[in-house]
Amino acid sequence: MTAALARWSLKRRLAIRLLIVLTVGVLGPSVVMVGAALWAINSMDDRALQDQAGDIVRNLDITASPPVLRLPAALADSYATSGDSYLYVVLDAAGDILATSSPAAEILAHVADDMSPGVFFLVTRPAGGSPWYAYMTTAGPYFVAVAQGGLHDDTLSDSVMRDLVSFSLVTALPLLAVTLLVTFWTLNRAFRQIERVAGEVRAITPGGAEAHLSSEGLPSEIAPLVAAVNDALFRLGRAYEVEKRFTTDAAHELRTPVAVLTARIDTLPPGATRDSLSADAARLSRLVSQMLDVARLDAAPLPMNEHVDLVAIVREAVAALAPLALRDRRTMEMRAPDGPVIVEGHEGALRLAVTNLVENAMLHTPHGTPIDVEVTPQPAIRVLDRGPGVAEAERASIFERFQRSPSATSSGTGLGLAIVAEIAARHGAQAAVTERPGGGAAFEIRWPDAD
């Protein structure tokens, strides 16, 4: 099968093949029937001529010399009134005419001279028109030739042909139509089930480990495919579960010692040592959290099927960090449209991205400087600071893992912005940093224009 044919739809393939099968199946027998009919017509003509000749022979008295033809009145009348449609002639061995139906029969006699008894032959009419069909037989030492014409000619077989062809079409066309309708109806019903399964497949989210396609109502030819897909889904789901359990276990195992460390530092007497140990523990804690975030993002694709209001989640994330900002004597402000700004995606991931951007600003700008957050209908999220900004050469690499600005303080992990970039990319958005007019950095997660 050629590649082009292979790409044709099942319906198109079936339609063309059924058309061929039905054409051959309906028209083929018709052709045979026409042939048979024509043969039957011919043999009818032959028998009629033999009968006609028999009548003449029966009524020919060959005991007399010369023989005498005594036709019954009705038969003689038929010949007389046939307008030369029926002819006969009786000849002797020398070819001399002994009896004839009409003067026109002389041509018959002339042609019959060259024929042997028992054959059928055609005699051309001198006046034109379709020829006579003729036959010669013997009666004792004499010869009897008969002919008839103008009745069972080609027009008859033509009309028989036409009738048969139109009859074939009359039966074939509805048959073809019904066959195609039944075929398409059957296929459509089967395809509706396939379409339903396709819908189930489309609805599978990355986290949907327990996804399972139902094979109910499917044609048995498709069922093995669905079963195979279900097997694959099951294996993927199990692999996803293993990854998830690993990161959950890792989270617990890594955080517990940090929690013990933090709690133990809290039992120390207040002072510079406790403060610096506390800061170290906080940085370690942040590193552990962000390593786990990275691991979780790498382990499995996020389900991205939530309608997330950016205004709400940014306000939530900023509100959670605001007490820390106030402790550092900062002002914080958020500008957003009155209504919601909805994007399709993963709420927890987007909240984490905003949290990381604000934490990044708090870590890398001096205490007392303001941090502003904007949500625009673009949609876009912007975190604006009044810190030293990001040098142009570092603006791309700053979003890579462990690529920290040389000017950055020691408190960063080098992972926060990489997580932001990863989450933005998962949402079809882009993370970038530019210079803020009037000084400082403008970090942004921007969705493409909605056109």
Partner 1 sequence: MRLLLVEDERELAGLLKAGLKAAGFAVDHVATAADAEAALISGSYDIAVLDLRLPDGDGLDLLRRRRAAGLTLPVLILTARDSLSDRVKGLEQGGDDYVLKPFHIDEVVARLRALLRRPNQALGVNIVIGNLGLNTMDLRVMVADDPLTLSRRELGLLELFMRRAGRVLTKEVIEQALYGFNEELESNAVEVLVHRLRRKLAGAGATPTIHTLRGIGYLMDDMP
- Shortest approach of partner 1 to residue 251 CB, angstroms? 5
Give the C-alpha separation, 86 to 84, whole Å: 5
Q: By C-beta, is 197 or 336 nearer to partner 1? A: 336
Q: By C-beta, is 63 or 267 nearer to partner 1? A: 267
Give the C-alpha separation, 133 to 145, whole Å: 11
Restricting to residues 371-400, which ones interact with partner 1 according to CB under 8 A?
373
Q: By C-beta, is 195 or 280 nearer to partner 1? A: 280
Q: What is residue 445's DSSP assignment?
A: E
255 binds partner 1 (CB under 8 A): yes
Give the C-alpha separation, 330 to 323, whole Å: 10
335 binds partner 1 (CB under 8 A): yes
Q: By C-beta, is 195 or 253 nearer to partner 1? A: 253
Choices 32-40, 185-193, 295-303, 386-394 (CB under 8 A): range interacting with partner 1 = 295-303
The 347-366 site mask, x for binding partner 1 (CB under 8 A), equals xxx-xx--x-----------
Closest listed residue to residue 145, CA positions, set 122, 117, 126, 124: 117
Place of tokens 């000017």: 407
194 close to 186: Cβ distance less than 8 angstroms: no
400 close to 420: Cβ distance less than 8 angstroms: no
Q: By C-beta, is 333 or 400 nearer to partner 1? A: 333
- Shortest approach of partner 1 to residue 255 CB, angstroms? 5
251 binds partner 1 (CB under 8 A): yes
297 binds partner 1 (CB under 8 A): yes
202 binds partner 1 (CB under 8 A): no
Cα-based distances in Å from 357 to 267, 318, 443:
32, 10, 7
CB neighbourhood size of 389 (10 A): 20
178 binds partner 1 (CB under 8 A): no
- Shortest approach of partner 1 to residue 357 CB, angstroms? 14
Among 319, 391, 396, 425, binds partner 1 (CB under 8 A): 319
Choices 26-34, 210-218, 246-254, 360-368 (CB under 8 A): range interacting with partner 1 = 246-254
The site that binds partner 1 (CB under 8 A) totals a number of residues, namely 43
Residue 444 parent element (H or E): strand 441-446
Q: By C-beta, is 136 or 358 nearer to partner 1? A: 358
Cα-based distances in Å from 185 to 11, 15, 19, 135, 193:
10, 12, 17, 60, 13
Q: What is residue 113's DSSP assignment?
A: T
Two tokens at 408?
A: 């950055």
Ramachandran category for residue 150: left, alpha or beta (phi over 0 → left; psi -120 to 50 → alpha):
left
Place of tokens 């509805």: 174
Choices 167-175, 249-257, 385-393, 432-440 (CB under 8 A): range interacting with partner 1 = 249-257
58 close to 90: Cβ distance less than 8 angstroms: no
281 binds partner 1 (CB under 8 A): yes
Q: By C-beta, is 48 or 287 nearer to partner 1? A: 287
Ramachandran category for residue 271: left, alpha or beta (phi over 0 → left; psi -120 to 50 → alpha):
left
Q: By C-beta, is 241 or 333 nearer to partner 1? A: 333
- Shortest approach of partner 1 to residue 302 CB, angstroms? 7
3-class secondary-structure state, position 408: coil
Choices 24-32, 189-197, 219-227, 311-319 (CB under 8 A): range interacting with partner 1 = 311-319
Give the C-alpha separation, 278 to 263, whole Å: 10
Radius of gyration of the chain (CA): 52
Q: By C-beta, is 318 or 433 nearer to partner 1? A: 318
Q: By C-beta, is 9 or 273 nearer to partner 1? A: 273
142 close to 90: Cβ distance less than 8 angstroms: yes
Q: By C-beta, is 87 or 313 nearer to partner 1? A: 313
367 binds partner 1 (CB under 8 A): no
333 binds partner 1 (CB under 8 A): yes
Phi, psi for 368 (deg, rounded to 5): 90, -15
385 close to 371: Cβ distance less than 8 angstroms: yes
3-class secondary-structure state, position 420: helix
- Shortest approach of partner 1 to residue 349 CB, angstroms? 6
- Shortest approach of partner 1 to residue 418 CB, angstroms? 14
List interacting residues with partner 1 (CB under 8 A).
Answer: 248, 251-252, 255-256, 258-264, 266-267, 281, 285, 289, 293, 296-297, 302, 315, 318-320, 322-323, 326-327, 331-336, 346-349, 351-352, 355, 373
